[in-house]
Structures are given as structure tokens and as C-alpha cells.
Structure 1
């Protein structure tokens, strides 16, 4: 896919279009699906290796890639993946078409926007949607509808430094790929974070019943981004926002 440049300081979400693969022939479909199944199985094995002692569950993961920053799961979806943060030697969108260990893979690996960090106030994470499949972030594309959003559970953000942190779903919306408001990562204080969340949630087509209270109490935000159209060159994105409050404890 051809790289897309930023426009007047705004980045596309992301700089290259997300996959919306439509398999045109049975032979190609079978080959790609078999490859994706093998990739999914490798992630499942890694996920099972994270069970057990919280202090040591990252021991087997860190050697896989220096870019591996976190693990994300979302209740009510198949999402259960490592999350990369490309370092200065890795192309920004490298994980759009590479596995966490650097192996070429059409479905890629979820990854953080390079403008944020795994411990920042706003975590912006990209993942593919592949037409006809719910692998990667494919189960999120229609969450901007109230019915689909209602079935969404909490997201768990797991890092070696902070452990497992739970984020509850706040809202979802469908936006152009150049949507600027979501591309903010620094906030002067809690009031600034609240104002920003109110602005984004005000454009949402699906929101949690207690969204107003949750916005006021939020201290961190996690946003998952995927393609809203399954045509291979989607101009729109689905954004699903989750929030966390200050007094919530880390999970075991």
C-alpha cells in the first residue's frame, strides 16, 4: 500500500489505509485464510504463556520483540493480542503488515501511535479489519451503532510495569481518516482531559449510559481504531473509546 503523507500537521489514522480485504478467488482466499489462521494460533500460544505469576508473565514475551509494549484484551470480542510501539529504527506503520516478531503478515499486529506511550494519558491503538473475519480489530468496525456498542465489555491493558489495568467502554463513532480531535496526547490537567472527552463523545453515535459521570472521573483514555469499511481503501475509521478512573485498582 502506498504511504500517505500528513496534511497541515494532521496525520491520517493511520498514514496507510487499513485492510478491508475482499477475497476474489477461492485459491487466494484459502491461502490467505490459512496464513492468518497460523498467525492467530501463534498469538493464542503467546496469550496462554501469560497465565500464572503476574511478576513473571512477561519473561517469555520481552525477547520476542523490543517493540512489544503491552497486551490488550477486550471482553465480548476475540481481541487478545500483543501491542507494539515502533521504536526510532522501525517504520511507523511497520506493524500494519508484520507480526510482532517482524514476520510479514497481511493482518499485522495492533500497535500504538508513535506520538503516545504505553503509560500515557491517551493510548491510541491501530488494528486491521479484514472483511469476513473478526481477527485483529475486525469485531469493532460496527461498534458505533448502539446495539453493537452495548455488547462491548471492558478492555484490559497489560504492561510489565503497571500490570493489568481495566478500561470501561465510553463511546464509539465513525469518522474520516483525518479526524483531528482524537489525535491529542498531552493534557494540561484533569479539566482539559474532561473538555476533550466531552468534545469527542459529543460526536459519538453510541455512548455508555453513565458517560457524563465517567468523563468527569476519567484519568486515562484508551482508543481503538480500525477501518469502518471493508473495501480495501476505506476513507473512514471506527473509534472506540474506553476510560479509566483514578481510584480503580490494577487487576491480578
Structure 2
């Protein structure tokens, strides 16, 4: 019977000691002490749980690798160790892998063995480890039950490609970690050459560049608009000499030098003046209604455009039943900006008269109503109607769109024969609406 000495069993039969509990470790490179021992790497059938030694009953286990431990009884009289049944995951044949001790040389061969039957009286002496050059073998007895298989030993310096089985998982295997598309272990898209970091540095710079570009474009558009306003103000401001306003002469109505204006531009046909406002401009007429949308009266390209008479109206104006005159709604309060303000009744009431001046006469007109209409309402730009009744019906229809109006609107609609219609873009955005001020002709003053 083996004697217990500080967690070591002393073999009573041979006197040799086996380190550990039921395991034997032979010194590296020591020669086998038993006569007739088997060569390293060979295998033979043996009793379950016993190791083969020289001259004794053959065992299925091969000579153990440096540092590998195999359970065995301490002496011939000791009973065979009980082998607990393996979990279901191991009964299915899945082997657990264990790395050899760190001190084992990389060239030491490793063996994997399964227990096989052996006589109960097998001695406890162990054979020496195999030489460093011995090949690696794996032996498994087809008769060995799956429940009695023990843990195998992974050869030093090798990594098993087989998936690990997790105890209690029903024999399932843990799948290998899928590498990143940018390289193994990459969490940020870096391929290992710094490309991910470069992308992270480039993106903020790209966004900043786009932002700067947009600011430059917006700044350029603003500068262009402001320059256009300035150019238009200078151009139209220089016209004061061509249409001076005198309170002592002609009751404060501009006296227009049409000869000088037509030398600048033959398309100038009239002049419009609204006292108490910024509206004091020449009136041009082009071949179509787009000619002076983006041209000053002298033909200079400018977004402020000009005040112009409808191309289908009879020049110089105030000849047809309706004289449509167009002008932009400019944010610097130039052109017809103040006409759009007259949708408010107070602003409407603030305008007492509008003067339309031609070479031959000055026409004094009185506001009738200000309407907001859709741009598709073509009657608002129609110069002539079939008869007086159709003209009156048109004015009554416009009255339905009125936002501000005179107190006697109904009576004046019934008696109106000619109207001056000032048209501009509506400030009520979004929408293609137009603000239209309709004025009736009250007086015609011949020019000297």
C-alpha cells in the first residue's frame, strides 16, 4: 500500500516516488529504469486507467510527453481509480485541448492516448520520456468507450484548428471569430497601413472645405446682388437731370426730357411718378415682356431690370382700355416694392395719385383697388376687351381679389373707361402670386 507523504505517494512496491496525485513525471532526458521498456511512441492495449511500463502488461498509452500527467494508482495493491463519466459533449467524441507546460522544449514530441483495459496489478513504475527526435503519434482504440476518454495533449508549438467545445453546451462548438474586412483585429476600418486613420483625418477637412466653398458661393451671390443694387441706384439716380421735379412748375410733376432719354434708349416711351414714394422711373417697352426683366433702361444687364409697358399694349400707354405696367419687387425698396405694400389698407390710402407721363400728356390716376392674383390670370395684362361690358365684367372679377380698395370702388367700376394697372411680384411667398394695383384715369393734362 502506498504511503501518503505531503501530497506525494510513495510506491511500496518499487520505492520510487510519483509527483502529484496519481501522476508520474520523469526527468527530462532520463533513461528508462525498467528493463524491457517499450520504445517511445509505441502503443499497446492495457487495462483502463493504467500506464504501460517496461516488462509489464502492455498499455494503450504511449510514453508520456515531457510534463504531461497521467492518472495512475500509487501501488499494485491500490484499487484502480474511478473514472467519472464524461459530459454529453465529450461522449460525442469531442476532445478538450490543453497546452503543454511552458517549460517543455518546442521540439518535444507529444502523444495523445485513450485508456484501454489492463490488469489491476500493473506496477506503478513509469518509463522515461522519449528522445527529442521521436515522432508524434496518436493512438485510439476503437473498442474504447467514448465515456472513458481522457483529455488529449496539444503538441507544443502547434495550435489546433478544431473548434472548442463548451462544457454543458450540448456538444456545440464555439465558431471562430470572423476577421474584419479591413484586416484581422481591426475595429475602425484600418487595414494595418494607416488607411483608416487617414480617412478619419480627411473627412473633417473635406467637410470644412465644402462649408468654405458654400460660404464663398453665398458671399459671391450677396456681393453680386449688392453690386447690382448699387449700379441700378447710380444709373437711375443720374436720371434726375432728365426729369426734374419742381414744386413751382407744373404743380410738382416731373418735367421729362424725352428727347435726351430716347437718345440713350429709343425704347423709352413714358415715365411713372408716385408722390411720397421711391417710384420715379422711365418706362420702356420691348419686343416681348422678357426684354427688360434683367436690363436697366440703358440696356445694361442688371437684376433690378426696368419699369416696362406690356409688349402688347399700344405705346406710349394710356391709349387702350387697360395699360399694364410691370416692375420688380426689389428688397432694397426700389422699383415697384411699394406697390406690394398697398395690400395693406393704410398704405393704400396713403397714395392719393399716380402720374403716368408721355411726350404728349400727363395722366393723373387714382387708386381703385389692390388685388393679389395668380399669375395665370391673364386678363390682368389684357390691353383691350371686346366692349365696355366685358371691360366692366373684368373689373368686377378683379374686385373679388381685392385686399385694399377705395370707398367708392363699386361706383367707379361701373363708370370706368380706362385704367392703369401696376403689376409686381407678391411678397406673400411661396406661390406665383402677383400684386396688382388698379387705378382709374381721372385727368389728362396736355404737355406744353
Aligned to 1:38: 231
1:66 equivalenced with 2:266 (yes/no): yes
Instruction: Please give the root-mean-square deviation of Cα atoms over the aligned residues, in Å.
Output: 2.6
**1:96 Cα deviation from its structure 2 partner:** 0.6
Question: Is this contact kept in 2: 1:99–1:105, CA < 8 A?
Answer: yes
SS at match of 2:260: coil
SS at match of 1:61: helix
* Inter-CA distance 47–189: structure 2 relative to 1 (3 Å threshold): farther
Alpha-carbon distance in structure 1 between the residues aligned to 2:374 and 2:266? 32
**1:147 Cα deviation from its structure 2 partner:** 2.5
Gaps of 5+ in 2: 1-216
* Inter-CA distance 28–144: structure 2 relative to 1 (3 Å threshold): same
* Inter-CA distance 76–191: structure 2 relative to 1 (3 Å threshold): farther
Alpha-carbon distance in structure 1 between the residues aligned to 2:337 and 2:271? 17
The Cα offsets for residues 21-42 of structure 1, whole Å up to 9 and x where unpaired, read as xxx9456434422332232232
- Picking from 332, 335, 347, the partner of 1:148 is 347
Aligned to 2:333: 134
Alpha-carbon distance in structure 2 between the residues aligned to 1:170 and 1:160? 25
Question: Is this contact kept in 1: 2:352–2:366, CA < 8 A?
Answer: yes
Aligned to 1:20: none
Greater RCO (Cα-Cα under 8 Å, separation 6 or more): 1
Gaps of 5+ in 1: 1-23
Alpha-carbon distance in structure 2 between the residues aligned to 1:235 and 1:56? 35
SS at match of 2:439: strand
TM-score, normalising length from structure 1? 0.77
Question: Is this contact kept in 2: 1:142–1:228, CA < 8 A?
Answer: no
Question: Aligned pairs, how many?
Answer: 221
**1:115 Cα deviation from its structure 2 partner:** 1.7
Alpha-carbon distance in structure 2 between the residues aligned to 1:29 and 1:146? 33
Aligned to 1:121: 321
Answer 1 or 2: which has greater strand percent.
Answer: 1
Question: Is this contact kept in 2: 1:143–1:172, CA < 8 A?
Answer: yes
The Cα offsets for residues 54-107 of structure 1, whole Å up to 9 and x where unpaired, read as 9972121111212111111122321111111113xxx53011101111110111
Question: Is this contact kept in 1: 2:367–2:437, CA < 8 A?
Answer: yes
1:80 equivalenced with 2:273 (yes/no): no
1:250 equivalenced with 2:445 (yes/no): yes
Question: Is this contact kept in 2: 1:64–1:101, CA < 8 A?
Answer: yes
- Picking from 234, 257, 268, the partner of 1:57 is 257
Alpha-carbon distance in structure 2 between the residues aligned to 1:56 and 1:153? 21
Aligned to 1:103: 300
**1:134 Cα deviation from its structure 2 partner:** 0.8
* Inter-CA distance 234–58: structure 2 relative to 1 (3 Å threshold): same
- Picking from 427, 431, 435, the partner of 1:238 is 435
Alpha-carbon distance in structure 2 between the residues aligned to 1:218 and 1:64? 36
Larger radius of gyration: 2
TM-score, normalising length from structure 2? 0.45
* Inter-CA distance 150–110: structure 2 relative to 1 (3 Å threshold): same
1:172 equivalenced with 2:365 (yes/no): no
